[in-house]
Amino acid sequence: MWKWIQAFASPQNFYVTSKKIIPWFLYPCIALCVVGVYGALFVVPPDYQQGETYRIMFVHVPSASMSMFVYFIMAVASGIGLIWQIKLANVVAKVSAPIGASFTFLALLTGAVWGKPMWGTWWVWDARLTSELVLLFLYLAYMSLGNAFDNPKTASKASAILAIVGLINLPIIKYSVEWWNTLHQGASISTVEKISKPAIDGSMIWPLFVMFVAFGLMYGALMLMRARDEMLIREQNTRWVKSIFKEAP
């Protein structure tokens, strides 16, 4: 297994293999987005309390979950790159940051749009909202720190340490609605008990699940595409990269 990982992590092997993997993420993502959006807009019934407004949930909840998931991947990749000096891990961490920041911004934006009719205001300094905003700042700080040094190795080390330290914010986001009094509602589906007895109607679960999978596939496709470009930049002086451009028409 470790030998396979080492072989795949080779810049040249990754560049070739990832090209074959991307379509398996991209095309199902597009299909599932269409199915999920259709189900969210035209199949599920209006909520008995929130009416049509709650439909933004089908974008807000997956984007909020992906904002944390991508940060976790970024921090783990940073740790691997920091300890084992694997180039691909550093690349994955770097290219994941803008994607994760985009998911976080989308979660905050859709949360504000959802919160306005529910709470009467676009923003409150709620524990969940504030910790999610901190997550966005962590993403921005990671990207800024990575560009603050002329030496790429120093930049990778500094940003990796920040990413690992920032992991402490993830459980704060996750459990903020349980640890503090908050306007933000709790998770509708999070535990075994809630899966068997969810807080939302059963007809609303399948579009939400479809959008979760679609957003996960979207991250996979975008990460691989950006990683391929970043790998070419980092390996631009190597023989295999030069051979690619020589073969290009």
| Domain residue ranges of the chain, discontinuous segments joined by + | 26-41+55-225
**Rounded distance, CA 74 to CA 170, Å?**
12
Residue 122 DSSP SS3? coil
pLDDT at 200: 66
pLDDT at 103: 98
Per-residue pLDDT tens listing for the chain (249 residues): 556 566 667 899 999 999 999 999 999 999 999 999 999 999 999 887 788 888 999 999 999 999 999 999 999 999 999 999 899 999 999 999 999 999 999 999 999 998 888 888 888 888 899 999 999 999 999 999 999 988 888 999 999 999 999 999 999 999 987 776 665 666 655 543 344 455 566 778 999 999 999 999 999 999 999 999 999 999 999 999 988 887 666
Burial class of residue 61 (count of CB atoms within 10 Å of its CB; 0-12, 13-18, 19+): buried
pTM: 0.92
User: Contact, 211 vs 63, CB < 8 A?
Assistant: no
Per DSSP, the residues of 145-212 read HHTS-SSHHHHHHHHHHHHHHGGGHHHHHHHHHHHS--SS---SS-SHHHHHS-SS-HHHHHHHHHHH
pLDDT at 194: 45
**Rounded distance, CA 132 to CA 170, Å?**
9
Contacts for 210 with CB less than 8 Å, ≥ 6 apart:
32, 35, 36, 39
pLDDT at 242: 87
**Rounded distance, CA 37 to CA 41, Å?**
6
Report phi then psi at 248, rounded to 5. Answer: -65, 140
- The fold adopted by the segment(s) 26-41+55-225 is Four Helix Bundle (Hemerythrin (Met), subunit A) (1.20.120)
Report phi then psi at 246, rounded to 5. Answer: -70, -35
pLDDT at 204: 86
